[in-house]
Amino acid sequence: MDPKLKDIKFIAGALAVLYGASFAFQVLSILQGQLDLRTGVFALLLGGLCLASIAVMQLKEWGRTALVIGNGLMGLYLLVPYIIISDIIPLSFIFMNVAMLLFFNQENIRSYFVNKPFVAQAGGWRCVLLIDDDQTLVKVIRPALISNGYSVLTAENGEEGIKVARTQKPDLILLDVILPGLKGREVCRKLKDDPITRAIPVVFLTAKNSPDDIAAEKAIGAAGHLTKPVNAKALITTVQKVLGI
């Protein structure tokens, strides 16, 4: 079983036991004559959370949604007696500040603010296909391209990259030399032999930077060369130069 799935089911099971026991205690209190609005609402919340937890164990989406909403309501229910009306506005600002901090500090949000504002290139979006199995590099290159107004497609091997290039027809291809299966130079040859992809410029990504390597890449139709580790500024400069922007 997937470790995360195992954790989800374990946590949901523990919550079901906790909420079920608490619900039973509240029902017992009601049967003993301690019935009031607050106790009744609390019992309903606990019962609903117990059912939601059981549904989460079965990976039901409605259970996950109910668990999230129910816990939010439970938090408000427990917090209300301790809140003075005059404190509501300051508290709302605290929650808003925390939410904005968490939102704007996400990596995929920060990427829109790298180097320059997120705008599409004149004449519409330009699409770049990145063929590379190094996910660390992908996480560097993709945000840099997106923040400069490019849409990005990715492929982890040469065969997949050729298929994506044929179906999506990107404006430019960034191609790793060392790939699992079909190697980068062979991928480039196949792209240049295919009339559908022949006109798409290819820029190689490689740790090798010798004149012989660069000459060999140009001989099979490469339009550019970038040396790993790739600098974001050099990446954008090369892409713009190849695309004539």
Tell me, yes or no, whether 138 and 79 share the same domain.
Answer: no
pLDDT over 90 (residue 129): yes
Q: What is the number of structural domains in the chain? A: 2
pLDDT over 60 (residue 148): yes
Asked if residue 93 is part of any domain, the answer here is no
Tell me, yes or no, whether 74 and 147 share the same domain.
Answer: no
* Packing angle of the helix pair 158-168, 184-193 (nearest 10 deg): 30
Give residue 117's pLDDT.
40
Tell me, yes or no, whether 79 and 122 share the same domain.
Answer: no
**CA 230 to CA 98: how far, in whole Å?**
34
Domain containing residue 67: 3-86
pLDDT over 60 (residue 69): yes
Lowest mean pLDDT among 14-18, 24-28, 31-35, 67-71: 31-35
Tell me, yes or no, whether 22 and 134 share the same domain.
Answer: no
Q: Exposed, middle or buried: residue 240 (CB in 10 Å: 0-12, 13-18, 19+)?
A: middle
Torsion-angle region of residue 233: left (phi > 0), alpha (psi -120 to 50) or beta?
alpha
Give residue 58's pLDDT.
86
Whether 148 and 115 have beta carbons less than 8 Å apart is answered as yes
**CA 63 to CA 135: how far, in whole Å?**
34
Asked if residue 96 is part of any domain, the answer here is no
Give residue 115's pLDDT.
43
Average pLDDT taken over every residue of the chain: 82
Tell me, yes or no, whether 149 and 235 share the same domain.
Answer: yes
Most confidently modeled range among 33-47, 69-83, 193-207? 193-207
Tell me, yes or no, whether 139 and 209 share the same domain.
Answer: yes
Tell me, yes or no, whether 197 and 130 share the same domain.
Answer: yes
Most confidently modeled range among 28-37, 40-49, 162-171? 162-171
Cβ contacts of 143 within 8 Å, gap of 6 or more: 107, 108, 110, 111, 114
**CA 119 to CA 112: how far, in whole Å?**
9
pLDDT over 80 (residue 153): yes
Catalogue the long-range contacts made by 235-244 (C-beta closer than 8 Å, 24 or more residues apart): 235/141, 235/144, 235/145, 236/115, 236/144, 236/145, 236/148, 238/203, 239/128, 239/145, 239/150, 239/172, 239/174, 239/203, 242/172, 242/201, 242/203, 243/126, 243/171, 243/172, 243/201
| Residue where one domain finishes, among candidates 86, 120, 149 | 86
Give residue 80's pLDDT.
66
- Hey, is 179 helix, strand or coil? coil
- Rounded to an integer, the average pLDDT of 75-80 is 72
Asked if residue 18 is part of any domain, the answer here is yes
* Higher per-residue confidence, 90 vs 201: 201
**CA 194 to CA 200: how far, in whole Å?**
10
Q: 225 is written with which tokens? A: 């060369």
- Hey, is 34 helix, strand or coil? coil
pLDDT over 90 (residue 197): yes
CATH number at residue 157: 3.40.50.2300
pTM over 0.85: no
Asked if residue 103 is part of any domain, the answer here is no
